[in-house]
Structure 1
Amino acid sequence: MFTFTPLLGAQSRSPASQSLLELDGGVKILVDVGWDDSFNSTKLQALEKHVSALSIVLLTHATIEHIGAYAHCCKHVPGFSRVPCYATTPVMNMGRTLMLDIYGSSPNAASTIPRDGIYTSPVSATAGDAANLLLQAPTADEIGSCFALINPLKYSQPHQPIPSPFSPPLGGLTVTAYSAGHTLGGTLWHIQHGLESIIYASDWNLGRENFLPGAAWLSSGDGGEVLEALHRPTALICSSRGVERAEAIAKRDRDARLVGLIRETVAQGGKVLIPTDSSSRVLELAFLLNCTWRDNIDGPHADTYRNARIYMASKSSKTSVRYLQSMLEWTDDNVARNAEAAMQRGDAQGSGSNPLEWKFVHQMERRSQVEKALSRNKPCVMLASDASMEWGLSSQALRTLADNQKNLVILTETACQAAEGRKGVGRQLWELYESQGHGASKSGAKVVNTDGHAVEIKVSNVEPLTTDENMVYQQYMARQRQMHSSLQGDTTLNGDTTADLGDDQASESSESEDEDEDEEHQGRAFNVSAQLTQSKRKTGPLNDAELGVNILLRGKNVHDYDVRNKRGREKMFPFVAHRNRNDEFGDVIKPEEYLRAEERDDVDGVDMKATNGGGPDGNAPVGQKRKWDDAANGKRDREPKVQHKRVKSEEKRAPDDIDDVIARLTGESGGAGGASNGIGEEGDSDSDESEYEPEDDEAAEPKKITFTTQSLTLNLRLAYVDFSGLYRLNDLQGLIGRINPRKLIVTGGDASETRLLADTCRAVENGKAVGEIFTPVDGDVVDASVDTNAWTVKLTRQLVRRLNWKDLGTDKPSIAAISGILGSEPTEDALKSDPDDEAAKKKLKLTKVDQPLPATSTLSLPILDILATHSTTHHQRAAQPVHVGDLRLAEIRAAVQAQGHTAEFRGGGTLLVDGTVIVRKSPTSGSLEVEAANAALSMPGWRTKTNEGTFYAVKRVIYERLAVVVGGV
């Protein structure tokens, strides 16, 4: 059995992707935990309903559409962090930097408490709109802990995953990752379970790019054949995002258009803004621009390139580049070879010969750096996050560049439609680009003048809660903690501690009992029983019915619990195995525990011995409990601490002319600034990343978010160059016949894109390439099981002894033909009716010995036994010898070349041997076809005693590599 349910992104305006695959035996696989730029937690409710039954989670790309809600679910959804997650190493690392960028750039990314999460009470009725109360955003340490839980996999590495604690056995489930292109480490997932062979292909790109490899559909050297593991799957789940793009140009022309637009704008003294993501597609753009600057620094346009700088602006740009240096093997083969050759030569740093040494791309992570770079009276190119211009640094850059006609905004992908009643800035610019007249630039690209058009920008503001709102928030969080502990079987919270859910001190004391358990005991519940969702909130502890099996731990004098007709956790003794905190290097080490004596005396300029609380902020030292009023004192002391840090920073900034100081320091250290690179003029060094800007102190108190709309008038220019890195419709048209899936499921696109892809696949070879096509919407359950019935039978010992097994090769199963008669197991009742049947007595005895099922089971397996003597000859004659196996054309080519023949691949998956014999593989049945020209049969030397000719030699090679299965016993 195999069912597919799209949870988010199927025929939807939202680009997010979430899919649920349910296999035989109750195995549930969640593929992707995507989100969109609205960060609406209500869109995750469908996912939360299935968390308690998930077996594993698979991630495909490190983009917000595929991994954006992962950290949110780990923190706020109970049990999600306990589900094993699998991804490639680049998806892990780049996903971590993406989360740091999202939560560091926008407070809205933390999401808000949904309206149905606030219980009806007199307090909430006076609190006004409760939907703008912000949840606690994951910290940087929590994000690192979440991604440390992911299990890394390599390409083409079959892996049998470990199920979650609340999952049934996986039954031999095997998952394999293949390259999908589009992003670094992007994955095509092949899922094998029993008779089901499923390929999940979301956002893939068949062609190779400058920096990224292409999708691994085709095997190298096989004349365009599809990989054996990806051929003829049970179901192909394919995304349709981007198939409506009409313009199709070669990669070289695409790169030339982008570089031409940038060069024209920079030569006129303008600035270029390219909104993109922060950790995926930005790498392809940055690599192309860095290579262009390196190759043209001494060319005919040297002055243009020397005066312009390239900036990569996101909250985690430095971390992304640092991770990239350690993932060389995941890049394109040419890039990896050139980088390895440069490292083997021992080229000096800054030489520019290493393609992964981004000498001309400067990373910046602060808004002040972006503002300063754009305020300079010099041209530049800025790759800023994000593409929607809703939450990243690209929105700030747009405001700065909007009023100058020399400036240019280059859109690299089609903006998605409005998902929640309003159009984002990226969508407004896209519609403005499509609707306005255009003039062709020198590069041949379409350029649009905005001419004073206005766009609406959504601005978020964070404010403290009022007294009533704070009471509602504390009630909600306390109830979530209690419900979370109840679902997890936790014993750290009891009725006395949480009796008053509105008491702040009680909730704080319960949180501080065990610092190591914070990650496991925070979060919002995904399902609430009828007793917990009543209209009036209970102020006392939970009753026996609400506690469930946890009554064994919390109830007094309770020593037994009735588990009959119970399911899930209700049948198991409540227990939570607390995991140690660890990262990619092992257990997390607390640096303060390894300080020297002189370091303990003075930390951050504060005398540790003279501090009452034992710490620099008045808090107790690590491992000691705080006093009753320490929490309140800590809040009062927080603001002076921030002021003290700012005073110290002001002292470090003396003298007043900060630009001179930075230029002098950069010149002394030989950094990667503009002067040291020979780019730009003296006194204008590009060392923005060294500028100090204090981060806002993480507020522990709850906040709410309000939104205002501002109108921005545009006078700049717009252009579009397709750098989305997605496959085109003609790519799938030429590939679907080779993949030859039994069923096709189209998801991951809006309604028009889904219809277009489905209609195109139906028209391929009159629909013979695809058996059945499904186009579900969010929430639809698609039954895509194979059209085959499988039964389990029990073989008798006599039959097993006569089996003639044939080996199909290494790493392949053996096969044997069986002819037998199907019957049932002998029973004691049947033996009583015929007590003289000695064969039945012996068979009953053997059955009892070999019985794999419990004696109390009522199930009985059918028995396959040898045929009777009079019918054996008849069935053996009917069973003809069969050649079994699956040969690749590359294996045939190597074998015939070893015998002295010439063999070469021709187009369309054809092998030509000695110029006279053609070997091809049927795209529908997969069988080999050997053909010879009629003229070749009359050639001299065609048949000799030592060589029967090329035709027969090829056929002999094929037969020798196939297993001959003769008629069964």
Structure 2
Amino acid sequence: MFTFTPLLGAQSASPASQSLLEFDGGIKVLIDVGWDESFDSEKLKELEKHVPTLSFILLTHATVAHIGAFAHCCKHIPKFKSIPVYATTPVTQLGRTLLQDVYASTPLASSVVPSDALTQSVYSLGSNPKILMQPPTPAEITSYFTLINELKYSEPRQPDSAESTPPLGQFTITAYSAGHTLGGTIWHLDHDMESVVYSVNWNQASERVLSGAGWFGEVGGEVTKELRQPTAMICSSRGTGPKVAVGLDQRDETLITLIRDTVANGGSVLIPSDSSARVLELAHLLEKTWAGETNSPLRNAKVFLASRTAGATLKYTRSLLEWKMEKGIGEDSFDFKHVTILERKSRVTKMLAQAEPRVILASDASLEWGFSKDAVKSIASDPRNLIVLTERAADLGGKHKGLGRYLWELWSAGTSLPPSEQDWTSIAPVGLSGHQASLRSARGAALEGQELSLYQQYLATQRSLQDTMQGDSSTALETSGDAGDTWSASTSTTSEDSDDEHQGRLLNTATILRHTRKKLGLSDEELGVKILVQRKNVHDWDVRGKKGEEKMFPFVAKQRRADDFGEMIRLEDFPREEEAEVTGAELRDGMKKENEVGQKRKWEHVTVSAARGSHQNKHRRTDSNDHGAIDDGDVSDEELGEDAPRIEGPSKVVFDTETLQLHCRIAFVDFSALHDLRMITNLLGLIQPRKLILVAGDDTETQILAQEAQKAFAARTGESSKTDEVFTPVLGQVIDASVDTNAWSVKLSRNMVRRLQWQKIGKLGVVAITGRLAAASLEPTSNEDEGTAKKKPKLEVPTATENDKMDTTPILDVVPANLSIAVRSVAQPFHVGDMRLPELRKFLQAAGMTADLAGGGALVVNNTVTVRINKATGTIDVDGGAYSLDKDAMTFYKVRRKVYEGLAVVAGA
């Protein structure tokens, strides 16, 4: 059984991607924890419902659309952090710098507390003040990403399952290159009879930095064996609308031409991009272009890369040589000499105040949270300046239309290209003179008045709900404990289970509510017997007539996490080299101090203060004349937040809106690097999936690709395509894409096992069985025993320690002699195996024959015998022509023998 449910990213304009795959036995796999630039926690409600039953999680790309909600879920969703996660090394490292950039750039990334949760409070203000949840610190983000299990391409792995979830058995996952981003992944999941290929946002074409998708193996034209004929293929439809195919060289030349013309006219160019994925291709192109220009207007303009984590991103990229293209890409390819790195807002502001032409590559592409928004304010008023969009901006929904989406619509309406070609390159920029844009900026502010009481009540409510859900009574005491309470302090600091048991909670009330316990108005009756540990100088409590916990002293024994083999190993005690700045011990101690009851709350990121002291002098910064990376170490929260005003305690988000006069020009050059319609339809004929599920695209793109896929299925089968071969689900719709076969479990009798004659096909063994099925309790006596004393077969009686029920699995025994002749006349022998022409060519050449691949998928042997594979019927045709010489006939028989050797001839009986 295999079902697929899109949680986000199905027939939607939002690029966020979340997919739930469920296999037989209750195995649930979540692929991607994506978000969009709205950072709306309501979009994660469906995901939160499935967290207790998830077996493991897979991540595909280091972009907001695929990994944006990972840190949020680890901090605010209970038990999410305990689920095993798998990704490639680049996705892990670049994803960490991406989320550190996002949380340092906008307070909205913390996500607003849902309005329905606030309206239930007794302190409801009648309107939502947009109170923010607590954001994860850079140290916490680092700790979350250290939990990810890293994989290499083409490396099969049997994943681990989360606690309290069904066993995985022989479940296997394998990562293949997806192109599009560094470390981007096409996942192959193999479980029992189900083979699922998950390919979202991939690119077959090789680029300057990235290689293409790993559909094909070493032999040209042959799809990788593990990816052929899956029972289900899940593919993205984004970018498959009608458009003009543009080559890599033409795309790059278009961008450089636009920059050269703008700079020559005295203008500046802004290129919004992400901060960890596609920005690598753009930055590498600009660096190589400036390095190769001598007497050109481009040398009069400086190039800037503005991102809060650009230094760490480039450092990781330089260390990932095996993940980049082999030709011309070395470690020094990202040691920029012509691109200046800007990580602080003060330096970005200083750069924008300059008058000379410049090229600014800034995060982010949506113009919602990165330095690109500040750059737009600076260059929008000058008609000589140019904004180059590198991908189609997404529609985030709601009342607010993002600036990136608004600019995209202006370009789409003003371009001279027909609608069928508007998704690709336009060399002529569109002037925006006379247009106005509403620019919304988010900033954090401290809670005031009743807002603080509202937030405290919300925290208390959430704590109570989660205590009930998790069956944990100890944490309820932490919310109202006194500063000097030794019992509360011990439960929050000495219990080794607290980090895993209470992770992901929506609150750190042990440090917030200790100052405001009295404001909650908890009476002695409400505290009950817990008053003995929550009130000072209270030593007696009347338990007469009480039941359950109200009759017992609230004592919790301290336990250490250990098993029969000793103490549990804590992963944070063994950090990787790149996390050396925040060591495991410092991280653990910092988290304990932050959550300890009775300790003064230090809102200035106390978790990394100890780690920062010995390393703050190691950071190398650049002045205005320094080109290249700023930071050789990891990203500290001091660097990320030094330009932003610090807010003590809980905060809210405040939106400021201003009107922006647009007089600049705008152009579009597609650097999204996604597969197009022609590419996917051609590939479907080679992969030959039984089922196709389309996600990650809007409704128009999805329907266009579905129609073309139906035609491809019809061309392959030679008949009308079935309606159940291509699925186009909407959000929340469950799709049953199980393989069209049935399987049953039987036991083989001893006589049947002795008669089996296995044949090898590669690494597999094949055998044909003809037998008679009988119930387990009535196993028949075999023919060999008929001549001897007929006695009842001995059945193993399970003991009480094995099973309480009898084993009812049916038994397959040999066919009696009087029925074997009739069965043998009905069953016919057949061939089993998957013969490939390149493999057959090697066999023939090893046997001393000449074999050459000819056009049309034919193999010519000794210039006389032709071998073809009929893909429609699955048969192998060996054609020897008219033989006039005995040696030609011998060649025919030798070739046929080699074909049989590569297959298994399975007898029918």
Q: Which range, TM-score by smaller chain?
A: 0.7 to 0.9
Matched with 2:97 is 97
Percent of aligned pairs with the same amino acid? 43
Say which SS state the counterpart of residue 333 (structure 2) adopts.
coil
Q: CA deviation at 1:255?
A: 1.3
- One-letter identity of the residue aligned with 1:585: R
Q: CA deviation at 1:313?
A: 1.2
Gap regions ≥5 residues in structure 1: 344-353, 527-535, 545-550, 560-575, 596-619, 650-658, 675-689
8 Å Cα contact 1:438/1:449 also seen in 2: no
Matched with 2:680 is 732
* Structural mapping, 1:471-870, within 5 Å: 471-484=453-466, 487-488=469-470, 492-495=474-477, 497-498=478-479, 513=493, 517=498, 521-524=502-505, 540=526, 579=570, 581-582=572-573, 584-585=575-576, 631=600, 662=623, 672=627, 694-696=642-644, 699-764=647-712, 766=714, 768=716, 772-809=725-762, 812-826=763-777, 841-843=791-793, 845-848=794-797, 854-857=802-805, 860-870=808-818
Q: What CA distance in whole angstroms lies between the structure 2 residues aligned with 1:7 and 1:19?
A: 6
Cα deviation per residue 1:645-664 (whole Å; 9 max; x = unaligned)? 9xx99xxxxxxxxx9x957x
Bigger Cα displacement from structure 2, 169-178 vs 110-119: 110-119
Q: CA deviation at 1:382?
A: 1.4
Matched with 1:468 is 450
Matched with 2:895 is 954
Cα deviation per residue 1:861-895 (whole Å; 9 max; x = unaligned)? 11111111112233234433332221222211222
Matched with 1:360 is 338
Match of 1:276 among 253, 273, 277: 273
- One-letter identity of the residue aligned with 2:886: R
Using a 3 Å threshold, how does the CA distance of structure 1 residues 493 and 923 change in structure 2: closer, same or farther? Answer: same
8 Å Cα contact 1:580/1:587 also seen in 2: no
Matched with 1:896 is 844
TM-score (normalizing by structure 1): 0.78
Say which SS state the counterpart of residue 355 (structure 1) adopts.
helix
Using a 3 Å threshold, how does the CA distance of structure 1 residues 257 and 852 change in structure 2: closer, same or farther? Answer: farther
Q: What CA distance in whole angstroms lies between the structure 2 residues aligned with 1:192 and 1:498?
A: 46
8 Å Cα contact 1:484/1:522 also seen in 2: no
TM-score (normalizing by structure 2): 0.83
Matched with 1:247 is 244
Q: What CA distance in whole angstroms lies between the structure 2 residues aligned with 1:61 and 1:245?
A: 25
Q: CA deviation at 1:44?
A: 0.1
Q: What CA distance in whole angstroms lies between the structure 1 residues aligned with 2:281 and 2:212?
A: 13
8 Å Cα contact 2:37/2:396 also seen in 1: no
Match of 1:286 among 283, 286, 306: 283
Using a 3 Å threshold, how does the CA distance of structure 1 residues 261 and 952 change in structure 2: closer, same or farther? Answer: farther
Matched with 1:332 is 325
Q: What CA distance in whole angstroms lies between the structure 2 residues aligned with 1:266 and 1:73?
A: 44
Q: What CA distance in whole angstroms lies between the structure 2 residues aligned with 1:732 and 1:593?
A: 45
Q: What CA distance in whole angstroms lies between the structure 1 residues aligned with 2:688 and 2:253?
A: 36
Using a 3 Å threshold, how does the CA distance of structure 1 residues 874 and 622 change in structure 2: closer, same or farther? Answer: closer
8 Å Cα contact 2:189/2:196 also seen in 1: yes
Using a 3 Å threshold, how does the CA distance of structure 1 residues 592 and 16 change in structure 2: closer, same or farther? Answer: closer
The count of aligned residue pairs is 832
Q: CA deviation at 1:412?
A: 0.9
Q: What CA distance in whole angstroms lies between the structure 1 residues aligned with 2:108 and 2:640?
A: 25
Q: What CA distance in whole angstroms lies between the structure 2 residues aligned with 1:316 and 1:178?
A: 27
Q: What CA distance in whole angstroms lies between the structure 2 residues aligned with 1:59 and 1:379?
A: 40
Matched with 1:318 is 311
8 Å Cα contact 1:59/1:87 also seen in 2: yes
Using a 3 Å threshold, how does the CA distance of structure 1 residues 331 and 423 change in structure 2: closer, same or farther? Answer: same
Q: CA deviation at 1:250?
A: 1.4
- One-letter identity of the residue aligned with 2:348: V
Say which SS state the counterpart of residue 320 (structure 1) adopts.
helix
Match of 1:446 among 428, 441, 444: 428
Using a 3 Å threshold, how does the CA distance of structure 1 residues 121 and 210 change in structure 2: closer, same or farther? Answer: closer
Matched with 1:211 is 209
- One-letter identity of the residue aligned with 1:304: P
Q: CA deviation at 1:307?
A: 2.0
Say which SS state the counterpart of residue 778 (structure 1) adopts.
coil
Using a 3 Å threshold, how does the CA distance of structure 1 residues 960 and 711 change in structure 2: closer, same or farther? Answer: same
Using a 3 Å threshold, how does the CA distance of structure 1 residues 204 and 327 change in structure 2: closer, same or farther? Answer: same
8 Å Cα contact 1:313/1:385 also seen in 2: yes
Bigger Cα displacement from structure 2, 18-27 vs 207-216: 207-216
Q: What CA distance in whole angstroms lies between the structure 2 residues aligned with 1:309 and 1:889?
A: 54
- One-letter identity of the residue aligned with 1:470: L
Q: CA deviation at 1:291?
A: 1.8
Q: CA deviation at 1:259?
A: 1.3
Determine whether 1:174 maps to 2:115: no
Using a 3 Å threshold, how does the CA distance of structure 1 residues 404 and 489 change in structure 2: closer, same or farther? Answer: same
Bigger Cα displacement from structure 2, 817-826 vs 474-483: 474-483
Determine whether 1:422 maps to 2:400: yes
Say which SS state the counterpart of residue 758 (structure 1) adopts.
helix
Q: What CA distance in whole angstroms lies between the structure 2 residues aligned with 1:587 and 1:491?
A: 38
Say which SS state the counterpart of residue 745 (structure 2) adopts.
coil
Cα deviation per residue 1:434-488 (whole Å; 9 max; x = unaligned)? 1125599xx9713111113111111112211123111121222244345445555
Gap regions ≥5 residues in structure 2: 419-424, 508-519, 531-545, 555-566, 630-637
Q: What CA distance in whole angstroms lies between the structure 1 residues aligned with 2:745 and 2:309?
A: 54
8 Å Cα contact 1:369/1:691 also seen in 2: no
- One-letter identity of the residue aligned with 1:288: L
Q: CA deviation at 1:590?
A: 9.1
8 Å Cα contact 1:825/1:847 also seen in 2: no
Q: What CA distance in whole angstroms lies between the structure 1 residues aligned with 2:46 and 2:402?
A: 25
Using a 3 Å threshold, how does the CA distance of structure 1 residues 908 and 458 change in structure 2: closer, same or farther? Answer: farther
Q: CA deviation at 1:625?
A: 11
Match of 2:886 among 925, 939, 943: 943
8 Å Cα contact 2:444/2:647 also seen in 1: no
Q: CA deviation at 1:744?
A: 0.9
